[in-house]
Amino acid sequence: MRTLELYLDKYFHGIELAPALFYETNKAIRFEISESIAFDEPDFLKQAFYRSITLFEAVFGDDDEIMMVTDVHTNNHFLRERPLNVYSKFIKRKELLYTLRFSTIPNPHGHEEEGILTHRFMLTCKKQDIRYKQLLKAICYEDFADPTTILKQNPESGYDIFFIHLSKNIIYHLYDDRGCDIIAADRESIRLLYEQYPEWILDYDKQEVDKDFA
């Protein structure tokens, strides 16, 4: 895991890879992934699917090298004995699973006193190796009872999945159906997202984003 630490030190001033990345740098955009829609509407997550997939495809090309980092926050020790289904279900090339790296890190939410540890999984792959559309949809379903829920066998556990573009030095974090943080080492590498999808930027943070990209 030292490789990730060195990478974050070099390109992101040692930022902690944890939720709310938007507030840790001024080279960031926070997108609203779904607007307020009644949960009982048939297509209430359709907008979230469309926006999260569109932004992902705008950041990552088919042959771009991606570091996929999954943090699972749990007091359940099943992870050491059983493969994490985010990889067994959503990785096309099963031989990549042999390169999966695992460690336990300090809980970024400060819940270690409650016995909740953070298990970190890292995999280097390409976009074409990932069933990314299905994975992004599963992340959007995190707070809902759905068969695609990533940790459906362990609903008491939480998780975060970060996608790192290793050549453009961009981090994509879809935190749930509400929003997505995209940060970069060089602001210009995500300016196109700012210009193409200004209406998707979260209203609460738009003034700050406009100031940073002015």
Query: What are the tens digits of pLDDT across the range 101-154?
Result: 888 888 776 666 577 788 888 999 999 999 999 999 888 876 555 545 555 455
- Decide if pLDDT at 40 tops 70: no
- Residue 11 is given by DSSP the state H
Distance, in Å, from the CA atom of 211 to the CA atom of 208, rounded to the nearest integer, reads 5
Distances in Å between the alpha carbon of 190 and those of 34, 49, 60? Answer: 21, 20, 11
Which tens digits make up the pLDDT trace of 57-101?
999 998 899 999 998 887 766 555 454 566 778 888 888 888 888
Alpha helices in the chain (DSSP H): 2-12, 46-59, 85-90, 132-140, 191-196, 203-213
Half-sphere exposure of 193 (CA within 13 A, CB side): 29
Phi, psi values for residue 42, rounded to 5°: -55, -40
Q: Read off the tokens for 55.
A: 């932004």
Q: Read off the tokens for 82.
A: 């059983």
Residue 106 and residue 116 in contact, taking contact as beta carbons nearer than 8 Å: no
The per-residue pLDDT for 86 is 64
| Among candidate residues 201, 198, 158, the one with its CA nearest the CA of residue 181 | 201
- Residue 38 is given by DSSP the state -
Q: What pTM was computed for the model?
A: 0.89
